[in-house]
Amino acid sequence: MSSYDAVPATPDHIALEHRVLALWEAESTFDQLRTQNAGGAPYSFIDGPITANNPMGVHHAWGRSLKDLMQRHRAMRGHELRYQNGFDCQGLWVEVEVEKSLGLNSKQEIEEYGLDRFARACRDRVAEYSAIQARQSQRLGQWMDWDRSYYTMTDPNIAYIWHFLKVCHEREMLYRGNRPMVWCPRCGTSLSQHELIDSYQDRTHPTLHVRFPFVDAPEEAVVVWTTTPWTLPANVAAAVDPTAEYSGVRTSQGIDWVMSTRVEDLFGEGADVARTALGSELVGKAYVGPFDDLAAQDEVAHRVVAWDMVSDNEGTGVVHIAPGCGAEDFELGKREQIPTLVPVDEAGHFTEEYGWLSGMATADAAEPITAHLAKTGVLVRSGTIDHRFPVCWRCGTDLIFRVVEEWFIAADKVRQPMIDAAATVNWVPEQYGKRMEDWLRNMGDWCISRKRYWGLPLPFYRAPSGEITVIGSVEELRERAVDPIDDLQELHRPWIDDIRIRTDSGEIAERVTEVGDCWLDAGIVPFSTLGWGRDTYTPEGYAEGAGVGLTRADLPDHAYWEKWFPADWISEMREQIRLWFYSQLFMSVVLVGKAPYKSVLGYEKLHDETGRAMHKSWGNAIWFDDAVEEMGADVMRWLYALQTPSQNMNFGYGPANEVRRRLLTLWNSYSFLIRYAEIDDFTPTWADLDSRPPATTALDTWIVARVDETIIACDEALDAYWTPTYARAVESLIDDLSAWYIRGSRARFWRSESDADKDAAFRTLWYCIAQICRLIAPAMPFMADEIWQNLVRDRADDAPTSVHLSSWPKANTPDQAALLSMGLAQTAISLGRAARAQGNRKLRQPLREAVIATPDAAARAAVERLSAEIALELNVKNVRFADAVDELLEIEIIPNFRALGPKLGKDIPRVQQLLKDGEYSRSEAGVEVGGYTLTDDEVEFRTRPREGFAVADEGGLAVAVDTELDQELEEEGLARELIHFIQGERKAAGFEIADRITIEIAPNALAERVLARFGDEIASETLCTTLTSLSHVDGNAFESDGCSVVVHVALAT
């Protein structure tokens, strides 16, 4: 048997991980796993596509670690998995980055650059970053079938969406409508609700108070307040609350009407109120608009209208209404049948009808508009306001509202079915299900069009008559095409725009120019990647169109879809509730009437370690590449696993270091085993992992029970997709192994003679560490396999070559009695230590005895089994159980509330008091109190130490130590001190642990006595072959309690 590799004192995570990556590569470990699991019960995970647009961040690494963790766990349990990664390829995300890199800054510049070149540049960017992200993910340890990733820009993906849209059209859910949209003037496109995520920023904007004089009484006017001066030229109405009281305030300009509750704020305390009126009395009044001289205003008759949404705590209580520039305004305008003026074009510039304003940008218009209003005498005052205002998530431009024509999918028909489908899903954390339901109840129609370039070409063809034809597949396009289609290289602009079609009524129709919302691209994935509805399975058939050369993903058939749909599990960050979780659910409910996933794990946001959001500009962002090469992937992954998903994560080098230090405990245990395994040439037994190792001590039995218990806890946690419980359970096992098992068993490994006991110790420790390797393998795949290679592979017959091929550990039923015993013994030991500390006796000093007292017979029996271990830990010669508990303790009986609550109910406080007062008697049956007989299960014994003993107690257990020393104990204590000192000398001299030494020693009289009695022990403990006593030695001196020596150590020859 080959010898074990030496283990460094601390793991070099980075080097270790690169080594393991190379090993996996060389041995095709992942392929072996897939072969091994082929035909296993399917476990369907569907990956949410990552936008292939930038290098991945540490927040992506969080999600990817969780995905990989869960997949590895299921794989170890023998499931067959698909391992398909996904890249999101289209949409504004990509366009904006490409614009930046090409130095383009407007839609006009893109069109001048050429849509074909632009599309190629977008595709190339996706290719570049998908490769980078794949490489980064591999470094993280994520096992995916990287050659077969799906790309949402491929023709099959697009065609599947076409089909979906056609189904929507057939069900009359698809429509085109004028809608006020949130609009980015720079990007020249509207933003969906989805894209307003995190879009509010603190901004300072101008505010204006403006008079709208009445036509029939020009000295009177309503006064409005606005924070968007550029919308005033599109004003068509002023809204008042019909039920509120308004005041006409006398000012230098005449009578200004505002809501009465606003008078004081606006005009001060001494405002001169000429008269008051209900809002309803103002309704219908015609007024002179502020920009009536502009051509756009020619047809507009301004009037006061009633509106129930007028606020009374802001502004003037009279609201300026511009239906072309605001969502609420638009709704009100529709109701009141007043005109909708859209003052600006796609780029946010005033159109020609706006005279001197035309060509001006909205942001630049505030000042001239204010000046103009001042000149015409309607400006009451101007100021500024600091408020939260939505800006474009990509370019930071202030967003505006603009009424535009867009394409929508009506939501009402699917709202309830979606709510029902969502209710079948296991949402983790649970409240995310409520959030989804809330979102669904409130969802508006889905705006699916974008006036951009690089995206899903909407397959809507408009004929001159206005008739709309929706194309549902590439074949249909081919059949209807009136332009040459054979050269169509991919389903993207500009190429697709060249193809016109013939409609059913024989007209020639052109495609609308819009592209689709990128959430259509991602939402179709559970259909497009699984071959829904296809007759044939096409190997590597997915990569048509823009995906050629990027992936070898198959285009499967319907049988395959049946096997893998719906997903057992998906996982993304929480905001995906309104994004991918939503769009997938929408499309799935439309197409097949059910949810596309069974379980969903969501998680919150990743912040820096101080709890602040990470921002490039704040300098607190951590790059993935830096993190992984400094912390190590395992450490990162363990951090992610420990994190409560429903809580924001504080990520950084500080927390990483804490985790790294905790992982040292496992590493130290491993290194301890290797050290002695090497010395003893230990050969493990593979079968031990299933059948358990032999046990000779109570500690052996106990730690094996702890392993069993932990395996079960891990499975429960991972079945519930709750990784922190899993990670904590493993950490707790590692702690127990190190602090109790190894510390309590060390002597068994030091002994030079071999026997069954030593064999059991080795096999048990090996068993524990090997099982821990398997338990941590899903979360820390590198360290788990590194240890496995050295400790298991090629050491035991039949051992798999990788921990990842070793399957999940088998849980036997935990030995509950052993767990209980050890729990009590641990309590007894820590009490004994506390008692020693009270009695001022170092642990090194042997003491005569510890006395344990407990009134609970079962507890006593349980602890008694571990007397030897307790004696060892407490360094006492004897452990005795007090015959009469009151020797040490006063006893208090406490009701077992959990058991007695249902039985005694309101009598509990009375019984509790009687017990406390000692008003009870004990009998065979149990405790007689207040007319009840309480069995031992129904009460709990607690103890308090009697005065005058070095006693510590907790619950029903008390431990005392005898602190008296006689000469023998004193000398033994000194011998221990001496050993301790010599060990230090050994170490100072740089000797190896197994080196034999010689000692020359010059003792005083007391030391001579100690040597006489304990010389052999000292020699044996220090691996000394010859201990020579001399009158003078050149060496180091040691002195303790009158015992003094000079010692010289040397290597034995």
Identify residues 983-1012 at the interface with RNA (CB under 7 A): 983-984, 986-987, 993-994
List the interface residues with RNA, window 772-831 (CB under 7 A).
830
Asked if residues 58 and 636 have their Cβ atoms less than 8 Å apart, the reply is yes
Q: Is 1041 an interacting residue with respect to RNA (CB under 7 A)?
A: no
Q: Is 360 an interacting residue with respect to RNA (CB under 7 A)?
A: no
User: Of 275 and 387, which has the nearer Cβ to RNA?
Assistant: 387
Q: Is 980 an interacting residue with respect to RNA (CB under 7 A)?
A: yes
CB of 185 to RNA, least distance (A): 21
List the interface residues with RNA, window 927-956 (CB under 7 A).
942, 954-955
Q: Is 14 an interacting residue with respect to RNA (CB under 7 A)?
A: no
The residue with tokens 């591999």 is: 138
Asked if residues 390 and 181 have their Cβ atoms less than 8 Å apart, the reply is no
User: Of 9 and 857, which has the nearer Cβ to RNA?
Assistant: 9
Task: Pick left, alpha or beta for residue 317 (phi over 0 → left; psi -120 to 50 → alpha; otherwise beta).
Answer: left
Angle (nearest 5°) at CA 799 between 795 and 800? 125
Angle (nearest 5°) at CA 745 between 739 and 750? 125
Binding RNA by CB under 7 A: which of 270, 484, 902, 948?
902
In three-state form (DSSP H/G/I as H, E/B as E, the rest C), the secondary structure along 587-617 is: HHHHHHCCCCEEEEEEECCEEECCCCECCHH
Beta strands 86-88 and 150-151 are parallel
The residue with tokens 């218990």 is: 709
Furthest-apart CA pair in the chain: how many Å? 126
CB of 679 to RNA, least distance (A): 8
Binding RNA by CB under 7 A: which of 650, 812, 1004, 1040?
650
Segment contacting RNA by CB under 7 A, of 14-22, 348-356, 640-648, 760-768: 640-648
CB of 689 to RNA, least distance (A): 21
List the interface residues with RNA, window 268-307 (CB under 7 A).
none
Q: Is 658 an interacting residue with respect to RNA (CB under 7 A)?
A: yes
The residue with tokens 């109190």 is: 929
CB of 11 to RNA, least distance (A): 11
CB of 228 to RNA, least distance (A): 17
Binding RNA by CB under 7 A: which of 171, 743, 810, 922?
743
CB of 187 to RNA, least distance (A): 19
Q: Is 9 an interacting residue with respect to RNA (CB under 7 A)?
A: yes
List the interface residues with RNA, window 434-473 (CB under 7 A).
434-435, 438-439, 442, 444
Give the full edge-to-edge strand order of the sheet including 468-470. Answer: 468-470, 460-462, 508-511, 501-502
Binding RNA by CB under 7 A: which of 280, 513, 671, 1040?
671
User: Of 738 and 1036, which has the nearer Cβ to RNA?
Assistant: 738
Residues in binding contact with RNA, number by CB under 7 A: 72
Binding RNA by CB under 7 A: which of 383, 396, 539, 909?
909
List the interface residues with RNA, window 1009-1038 (CB under 7 A).
1021-1023
User: Of 382 and 845, which has the nearer Cβ to RNA?
Assistant: 845
Q: How many CA atoms lie within 13 A of 82 on its CB side?
A: 27
CB of 329 to RNA, least distance (A): 13
- CA nearest to 1015, candidates 982, 985, 1052, 1053: 982
List the interface residues with RNA, window 197-226 (CB under 7 A).
197-198
CB of 994 to RNA, least distance (A): 7
CB of 174 to RNA, least distance (A): 20
φ and ψ at residue 104, rounded to 5 degrees: -95, 150
CA 894 to chain centre: 43
Using CB atoms within 10 Å of the CB of residue 172, give its burial: 0 to 12 exposed, 13 to 18 middle, 19+ buried.
exposed
Q: Is 618 an interacting residue with respect to RNA (CB under 7 A)?
A: no
* 3-state secondary structure (DSSP) of residue 313: coil
User: What CA–CA distances, in Å, run from 824 to 23, 764, 819?
Assistant: 45, 22, 9
Q: Is 739 an interacting residue with respect to RNA (CB under 7 A)?
A: yes
List the interface residues with RNA, window 748-767 (CB under 7 A).
750
Binding RNA by CB under 7 A: which of 894, 965, 969, 1052?
894
What residues pair up with 922 in beta bridges, in sequence order?
927
Q: Is 412 an interacting residue with respect to RNA (CB under 7 A)?
A: no
User: Of 359 and 444, which has the nearer Cβ to RNA?
Assistant: 444
User: Of 177 and 901, which has the nearer Cβ to RNA?
Assistant: 901
Q: Is 102 an interacting residue with respect to RNA (CB under 7 A)?
A: no
Binding RNA by CB under 7 A: which of 386, 486, 535, 906?
906
Q: Is 834 an interacting residue with respect to RNA (CB under 7 A)?
A: yes
CB of 633 to RNA, least distance (A): 21
Asked if residues 204 and 328 have their Cβ atoms less than 8 Å apart, the reply is no
User: Of 35 and 647, which has the nearer Cβ to RNA?
Assistant: 647
- CA nearest to 624, candidates 65, 12, 18, 23: 65
Angle (nearest 5°) at CA 790 between 726 and 710? 20
List the interface residues with RNA, window 142-201 (CB under 7 A).
193, 196-198
Angle (nearest 5°) at CA 584 between 580 and 585? 115
Buried b (16+ CB within 10 A) or exposed e, 835-867: bbebbebeeebbbbbbbbbbbbeebbebbbbbb
User: Of 492 and 942, which has the nearer Cβ to RNA?
Assistant: 942
CB of 323 to RNA, least distance (A): 16
Q: Is 916 an interacting residue with respect to RNA (CB under 7 A)?
A: no
* 3-state secondary structure (DSSP) of residue 29: helix
Q: Is 575 an interacting residue with respect to RNA (CB under 7 A)?
A: yes
CA dihedral over 249, 253, 254, 259, signed as positive or negative = negative
User: Of 552 and 662, which has the nearer Cβ to RNA?
Assistant: 662
Binding RNA by CB under 7 A: which of 275, 335, 612, 661?
661
Q: Is 578 an interacting residue with respect to RNA (CB under 7 A)?
A: yes
Asked if residues 154 and 527 have their Cβ atoms less than 8 Å apart, the reply is no
Q: Is 558 an interacting residue with respect to RNA (CB under 7 A)?
A: no
| Distance, CA of 738 to CA of 717 (rounded, Å) | 23
Asked if residues 67 and 81 have their Cβ atoms less than 8 Å apart, the reply is no
φ and ψ at residue 99, rounded to 5 degrees: -55, -50
Angle (nearest 5°) at CA 524 between 522 and 525? 70
Binding RNA by CB under 7 A: which of 908, 965, 969, 1051?
908
Binding RNA by CB under 7 A: which of 103, 377, 466, 611?
611
Q: Is 976 an interacting residue with respect to RNA (CB under 7 A)?
A: yes
Segment contacting RNA by CB under 7 A, of 27-35, 462-470, 523-531, 571-579: 571-579
Beta-carbon count within 10 A of 40 CB: 14
CB of 843 to RNA, least distance (A): 5
CB of 725 to RNA, least distance (A): 7
What residues pair up with 961 in beta bridges, in sequence order?
850
User: Of 397 and 668, which has the nearer Cβ to RNA?
Assistant: 668
Q: Is 334 an interacting residue with respect to RNA (CB under 7 A)?
A: no
Q: Is 668 an interacting residue with respect to RNA (CB under 7 A)?
A: yes
Q: Is 841 an interacting residue with respect to RNA (CB under 7 A)?
A: no
Q: How many CA atoms lie within 13 A of 549 on its CB side?
A: 6
DSSP notation for 476-495: HHHHHB-S--TT--SS-TTG
State the DSSP code for 813: P
User: Of 153 and 659, which has the nearer Cβ to RNA?
Assistant: 659
What residues pair up with 205 in beta bridges, in sequence order?
385
Segment contacting RNA by CB under 7 A, of 107-115, 614-622, 625-633, 664-672: 664-672
Q: Is 644 an interacting residue with respect to RNA (CB under 7 A)?
A: yes
| Continuous segment of H or E residues that includes residue 859 | helix 857-864
Per the omega criterion (within 30 degrees of 0), is the bond before 566 cis? yes
